[in-house]
A = this chain, B = another copy of it.
Amino acid sequence: MLSAEVEGDSLVFVASGVVKLTAQSASPQPAKHDACTNHVLSFHFPTDIVSVLRREDGDFRLIALADAQLVTFSADRFLDLAQDDPAVIRSVLARSLNALHRSRNRMMQMSHKSARQRVADFLVSMSKRLTAGEHKACEFALPMSRRDIADCLGLTIETVSRQFAELRDAGLIETEGRSLVRLLDLEKLSREAGRTPLPHFEPTI
């Protein structure tokens, strides 16, 4: 478990492992017994480039969920160096627009989707990341805890757990132990998630 501290905006390349991008919202009023208002913005996998930006209130953090190898650039310095190479900077721009696009999609989903839809969508999306290519045997170990999932989906761990149970009862998934998940019916699961087609894997920033 490794946590990378960075000053200013930076770009991080994930070479191996899994990381979560979190934002602790330095909550103004310490709320009731808040303890863990640790929002998880996204999970990232090898080949992803994550942009970790500085915020006014509290900071973004990149936290490893499994042993990970990361390459960190200062965004400014990187851009200075890349400035002479249009292809590079343009690729970064393309990735960044792509990330924006996905973030918007995600936001749209988040605000209008039920717990069931969020969890189903999460599972489908994870299967794409973790079993890239293999169309059958959608079986994988979730690298993150229920808390991380809940924080990412804007739900409580209890609700996530209940949704897992219901999906299990419905015969859409199977679980073994804490992290192993088997998606038995990707088709139906996608429909539960409220997705039309099956989007492709695309590198993120």
**Residues of A near any B CB (own CB < 8 A):** 9, 23, 25-29, 37, 39, 41, 51, 53, 55-57, 75, 79, 83-84, 86, 89-90, 92-93, 96-97, 99-101, 103-108, 110-112, 153-154, 191, 194-197, 199, 205
Contact = CB atoms under 8 A, between A and B. Distances in A.
A193 to B, nearest CB: 10
A90 B97 contact: no
13 contacts: A23-B104, A28-B191, A28-B196, A41-B104, A51-B101, A53-B97, A55-B101, A55-B105, A84-B86, A103-B103, A103-B104, A106-B107, A110-B111
- What is the copy number of this chain in the assembly? 2
Contact of A97 (B9, B25, B154): B9
B28 A110 contact: no
Contact of A51 (B41, B97, B106): B97
Contact of A100 (B25, B29, B96, B154): B96
A199 B25 CA distance: 14
Contact of A56 (B53, B108, B199): B199
Nearest to A193: B28
Given A57-B197, A83-B86, A197-B57, A41 B97 contact: no
A93 B101 CA distance: 14
Given A28-B194, A53-B101, 20 more contacts: A25-B108, A25-B194, A39-B112, A41-B108, A51-B100, A55-B101, A56-B197, A57-B195, A57-B197, A83-B90, A89-B90, A93-B96, A96-B97, A96-B100, A99-B100, A100-B100, A100-B205, A103-B103, A107-B107, A110-B110
Nearest to A194: B28
Contact of A111 (B27, B89, B154, B199): B154
